Amino acid sequence: MPKVAFKMKLKPGFEAEYEKRHDEIWPELAAELKKAGVSDYSIYLDPETRILFAVQKVEDTQKADQLPQSPVVRKWWDYMSDIMEVNPDHSPVVVPLPQVFHLD
């Protein structure tokens, strides 16, 4: 199962709020991610830069690529847009990260 890694960025002062919102992730959003084949999804924070580093396993990249069309995903983006750097449609600014090393 391929892994996908990317980074996003928090606005200043929202570290605790970001964690709180994810501690209370909506069940319908978690279900939508799982339905799209996303699993083993972790997000890490670099507190010095406010960069969020995310890694997820994706069963089917074509299914996962359809997530931006999901109403619940779009609603989550709207909910998170006040605390993250976002695009005009409120999707998070995401920078894909290529894998340069792996050790099993």
pLDDT of residue 76: 98
Q: Model-level pTM greater than 0.85?
A: yes
- Partnered with residue 84 across adjacent β-strands are 10
Number of domains in the chain: 1
Q: Identify which of 66, 92, 68 has the alpha carbon closest to the alpha carbon of residue 9.
A: 92
CB 72 within 8 Å of CB 26: yes
Does residue 54 sit within a domain? yes
- Whether 8 and 84 have beta carbons less than 8 Å apart is answered as yes
Q: What pLDDT, on the 0 to 100 scale, is given for residue 14?
A: 98
Domain assignment present for 17: yes
Is residue 28 assigned to a domain? yes
Put residue 33 in one of left, alpha, beta given phi > 0 → left and psi -120 to 50 → alpha.
Answer: alpha
Which position has the token pair 């099993």? 104
Q: Give the distance from CA 10 to its chain's centroid.
A: 12
| 46-81: pLDDT as tens digits | 999 999 999 999 998 899 999 999 999 999 999 999
Give a yes or no: residue 102 inside a domain. Answer: no
- From the candidates 3, 20, 22, 63, which is the catalytic residue? 22
Q: Domain range spanning residue 77?
A: 3-97
Per-residue pLDDT at 19: 97
Tokens of 42: 């972790």
103 within domain boundaries: no
22 catalytic residue (yes or no): yes
* pLDDT at residue 1, rounded to an integer: 85
Condensed to tens digits (0 to 9), the pLDDT of residues 27-51 reads 999 999 999 999 999 999 999 999 9
Is the four-CA dihedral 84, 75, 6, 56 of positive or negative sign?
positive
